[in-house]
Amino acid sequence: MEERTLGFLDPSNAVFLRWDFDFEAEIITFELQVRTAGWVGLGVTDRYSRAGSDLVVGGVSPDGNVYFSDQHLVDENTLEEDGSQDAELQGLTEDAVYTTMRFSRPFRSCDPHDQDITSDTVRVLAAYGLDDTPKMDRERTFVKSIFLLQIVHPDDLDAPEDTIIHDLEITDFLIPEDDTTYACTFLPLPIVSKKHHIYKFEPKLVQHKETIVHHILVYACGNASALPTGISDCYGADPAFSLCTQVIVGWAVGGTSYQFPDDVGISIGTPLDPQWIRLEIHYSNFHNLPGLYDSSGIRVYYTAHLRKFDMGVLQLGVFTFPIHFIPPGAESFMSYGLCKTEKFEEMNGAPVPDIQVFGYLLHTHLAGRAIQAVQYRNGTQLRVICKDDAYDFNLQETRDLPYRVVIKPGDELLVECRYQTLDRDSLTFGGPSTINEMCLIFFFYYPRNNVSSCQGYPDIIYVAHELGEEVSDSMEGMMAMSNVEWTPESIKKVEKACKEAQQTVIIKTIDELVENTTGWIQDINPTPRGPCLESSGGKVEPQDKTPAGFRAAPIVLSRASSATLRCLPLAALLFGQGALSWLLATLQSGI
């Protein structure tokens, strides 16, 4: 096991988490190390309440005896032992400094008190005490959103010896005293005499007293584009600062660096490659702080050691403005954006090979609760490509698929976003501000083509008519949404109308060509859950379709057979240091 550590704010309160998993056996192994001589606990919770959280608790008593138990929180403060013990202890030690607990558990046990480990964002709960009486204490309880099921450790990826570093950054930019600012500037890519590949990128952030930089995007520019100079509002009075729409790398709050799989890279240095990019930085200065200067950007790593494939990025989802809206007071509201690939070849100007998707970045704003991308072929749902039913705005990172997904010409791609607006009393519109909304997924794929985005939006005139509003154009349709009295019934009615309405699909290329087509939203078949893992005293949940569907417990990972454990200093990050997400590459080839 290779140990990795980060700096932390308060060493006396450091809580370190390491983990690894067996994807086929569906077993995950955790190692929790806490600077205490008391009890320690690790489990899973949700975004709304600690009640119902699961927590595996252990420690070494003063007489040297080990105690270990699979428990759950009855309420915010009360622990109770599970009737089914689904965690298996692999080691529990205490020395002069640390208590270290290592255990394994199934991704999904049959105990309803155990939260599932899924490919969603998982809110990991860690807690500890100063003695051996397990009792919850807010000052020693931490929650961190983590994407646990990453397939490959970043150290398994190649780091070329001839690596060159190049920074794409804004310089001494005075951040306006506004809630939201989109600052754009145009910068040259590295000038090289022959083809190179960018194989890694990471944010280059200037530290401020609070999180100011919300996201950074790098867009490739067509070589025929006439580009402005200086720094200006990306979507303001000068439309030239919104030129270039093909994203090549992207970072958002909560993410860190990302390294592409060993066989793909962003090509630079050939006549077909972009020479310039648009750097877009979204600042959220909600406290209107004055005098803040920023020089943030993206650092790219490139090499002359070429990879097999040139990669591209395809932006999917709901066309952000002006049609996208979400009613206030919604417990749940779905938005849909359709992409039809049938025009890709025509717009690319050459045959488009099968698109091989290996990674993705999900993006909504504060009201987003879940997001997924679904693939259809010949009118039939093929698969859910990626999803996160526990989306966390503060953890937006590039993630790898467990296998490469093939998108063929003619396939349809549907992005669905679920929002919650119980805390809002007015309409939320699609737009750039953090208090506006977006519904986007960026697919990282190869081989590269010229299509940069493919997004959809519903026929708002149809939607308004379904709500009894008489309108004659899209602008009136959007204005009519402000006349609606929003109740649970009207919210469901407009959600249904938006799904049933014909979608306009807007497809763009790197050279700013735009084509429209139309289509219809198909139903999404839910992904069936697999059988739960056999456990002592566990019961099958009502939603499990096969009551006899227990799986025999596989052999758990041993200390000797375990691969490199992922490592995260939990408390340190919760106290405000940058989050660390381990970077993956995809190993398997898809269907």
Q: Which residues are catalytic?
A: 182, 363
Task: For the chain, give percent helix, strand, coil, nearest 5.
Answer: 10, 40, 50
The token duo for 103 is 């255990």
Dihedral angle sign, alpha carbons of residues 94, 95, 97, 100: negative
Pairing of strands 79-81, 88-94: unpaired
Biggest alpha carbon–alpha carbon distance for the chain: 80
Q: Which residues of 119-155 are buried (b: 16+ CB within 10 A; e: fewer)?
A: bbbbbbbbbbbeebebebeeebbbbbbbbbbbbbbbe
> Could you give the C-alpha distances from 491 to 333, 416, 458, 475, in angstroms and in order?
8, 17, 16, 20
In sequence order, which residues have a C-beta less than 8 Å from that of residue 495 and are 6 or more positions away? 333, 334
The token duo for 500 is 């049933």
Dihedral angle sign, alpha carbons of residues 540, 542, 544, 549: positive
SS (H, E, C) 516-570: EEEECCCCCCCCCCCCCECCCCCCCCCCCCCCCCCECCCCCCCCCCCCCCEEEEH
Q: Verify cis geometry, omega within 30 degrees of 0, for the bond prior to 322.
A: yes
Question: From CA 372, how far away is CA 93, in angstroms rounded?
Answer: 42
Q: Are 571 and 142 in contact (CB under 8 A)?
A: yes
Looking at residue 329, what DSSP letter applies? T
> Could you give the C-alpha distances from 444 to 156, 397, 401, 420, 441, in angstroms and in order?
19, 12, 10, 28, 10
Q: Are 186 and 228 in contact (CB under 8 A)?
A: yes
Question: From CA 492, how far away is CA 498, in angstroms rounded?
Answer: 10
SS3 assignment, position 480 = helix
Number of residues in the chain: 591
Strands laid side by side in the 566-569 sheet: 88-94, 99-106, 27-34, 15-22, 566-569
SS3 assignment, position 586 = coil
Bridge partners (DSSP) of residue 508 are 453, 514
CA angle 121, 123, 124 (to 5 degrees): 125
Dihedral angle sign, alpha carbons of residues 105, 108, 113, 115: positive
Q: Residue holding tokens 């991308």?
A: 373
In sequence order, which residues have a C-beta less than 8 Å from that of residue 313 and are 6 or more positions away? 246, 247, 248, 249, 250, 442, 443, 444, 445, 452
